[in-house]
C-alpha cells in the first residue's frame, strides 16, 4: 500500500493538472470500490472547480468550489494518472481506456485524470469542505509527521509505558499519520532500534531521536518520488526510486550498509508484516 511519500508524490503530480481547473465531465464506471461511491458522484463532480489539493495521512483531498471535498485513497493498487497535459518536462497523450479505469475526470483544459485500481481496495468519497477531521476514515488519525504537531515531547508521551513493539507503535495511525512498513523499517535501522523492542522500554532520549529520523527518511523518500515495489506509479506513470536507497527493507541476507557493521539483514514477521533489520546494530 502506498505510504505517505508515495501519496504526497501523487498529490504533487496531480496539482498542475487539477488545481485551478474545472472538471468538465466526470465518469464513474462502477458503483463502488472498497466501499460504495457517494450518491450522484459524477454529477456532483462535473462542473466543479478544484480549488486546492491537500494530503492528510495517506489520503488526497481535493477542495472544490462546490464546498465539497473529494477524498481519494489509493488502496493497494490504485493509481491516479494524468494524461493529455504536460507533466514536468513531458507531454503524455491519452491512453486507450483500460479495464480498471473506474473514475475518469476530464478537466477543462484537455487533461484527463484517471483513477485505475485493479484490486479495488481504493476509495473515493465526498464531504463538506472543512469537515474532514470528522470523517470516519480520518477522525482518529494522529498528527502529520512533517508538521509542528509531531515533536519529541509528543512522541515520548505517546509511547511512555506502551507494551507494544516499537514497530507496531509507529505503524499505529492514531499515534502518527502516514507511516507504513517500508519507512518504519528504515527509520528503526537509522535509529539502531530493534523492531521488536517494547516501545515503553526505550529511553526518552532514544524515542526523541526518532522524530528527526522519521522526518529525514520521509523527506528523502518524497524527493525520490516514493518507492515503487509493485503497483505504485507517480501521476505521470513513472516509477519512484527510493527503493534503490533501502538500507534494510526487502534486503534479507544482504550485509548491513552501516559502516564497520558486521551484521547481515534479517527478516521476521510481526503482526503478519515483514520486518527487516540488522541484529548487530539494532538493539
- To the query of whether residue 195 is one of the catalytic residues in this protein, the response is no
- To the query of whether residue 233 is one of the catalytic residues in this protein, the response is no
- To the query of whether residue 6 is one of the catalytic residues in this protein, the response is no
Contacts of the segment 153-158: beta carbons below 8 A, 24+ positions apart: 153/208, 155/207, 155/208, 155/210, 155/211, 156/204, 156/207, 156/208
User: What are 159's three cell numbers?
Assistant: 509511547
Q: Which of 21, 58, 209, 251 is catalytic?
A: 58
**How is 99-135 classified by DSSP, letter by letter?**
TTEEEEEEETTS-EEEEE-SS---EEEEEETT-GGGS
- Nearest by Cα to 78 from 230, 249, 251, 261: 230
Q: Which of 197, 206, 258, 273 is catalytic?
A: 273
242 and 221 Cβ atoms separated by less than 8 Å: yes
Q: Which of 3, 6, 8, 132 is catalytic?
A: 3
45 and 63 Cβ atoms separated by less than 8 Å: no
- To the query of whether residue 19 is one of the catalytic residues in this protein, the response is no
Q: Is 163 left (phi over 0), alpha (psi -120 to 50) or beta?
A: alpha
Sign of the alpha-carbon torsion through 153, 156, 159, 160: negative
d(CA 165, CA 184): 12
- Nearest by Cα to 179 from 215, 220, 140: 215
Q: Which positions are catalytic?
A: 2-3, 58, 273
Amino acid at each position: 500500500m502506498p505510504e505517505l511519500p508515495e501519496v504526497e508524490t501523487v498529490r504533487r503530480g496531480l496539482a498542475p493538472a487539477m488545481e485551478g481547473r474545472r472538471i468538465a465531465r466526470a465518469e464513474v464506471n462502477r458503483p463502488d470500490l472498497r466501499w460504495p461511491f457517494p450518491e450522484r458522484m459524477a454529477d456532483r463532480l462535473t462542473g466543479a472547480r478544484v480549488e486546492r489539493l491537500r494530503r492528510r495521512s495517506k489520503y488526497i483531498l481535493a477542495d472544490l468550489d462546490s464546498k465539497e471535498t473529494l477524498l481519494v485513497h489509493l488502496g493497494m493498487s490504485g493509481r491516479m494518472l494524468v494524461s493529455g497535459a504536460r507533466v514536468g518536462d513531458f507531454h503524455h497523450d491519452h491512453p486507450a481506456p483500460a479495464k480498471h479505469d473506474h473514475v475518469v475526470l476530464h478537466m477543462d483544459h484537455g487533461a484527463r485524470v484517471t483513477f485505475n485500481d485493479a484490486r479495488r481496495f481504493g476509495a473515493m468519497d465526498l464531504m463538506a469542505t472543512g469537515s474532514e477531521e470528522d470523517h470516519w476514515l480520518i477522525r482518529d488519525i494522529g498528527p502529520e509527521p512533517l508538521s509542528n504537531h509531531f515533536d519529541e515531547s509528543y512522541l515520548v508521551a505517546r509511547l511512555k509505558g506502551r507494551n507494544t513493539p516499537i514497530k507496531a507503535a509507529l505503524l499505529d495511525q492514531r499515534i502518527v499519520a502516514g507511516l507504513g512498513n517500508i519507512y518504519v523499517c528504515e527509520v528503526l535501522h537509522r535509529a539502531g532500534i530493534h523492531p521488536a523492542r517494547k516501545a515503553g522500554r526505550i529511553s526518552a532520549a532514544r524515542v526523541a531521536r526518532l522524530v528527526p529520523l522519521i522526518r529525514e527518511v520521509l523527506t528523502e523518500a518524497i524527493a525520490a518520488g516514493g518507492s515503487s515495489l509493485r503497483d505504485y506509479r507517480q501521476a505521470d506513470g513513472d516509477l519512484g526510486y527510493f527503493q534503490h536507497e533501502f538500507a534494510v527493507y526487502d534486503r534479507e541476507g544482504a550485509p548491513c550498509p552501516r559502516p564497520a557493521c558486521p551484521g547481515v539483514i534479517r527478516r521476521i514477521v510481526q503482526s503478519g508484516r515483514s520486518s527487516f533489520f540488522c541484529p548487530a546494530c539494532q538493539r
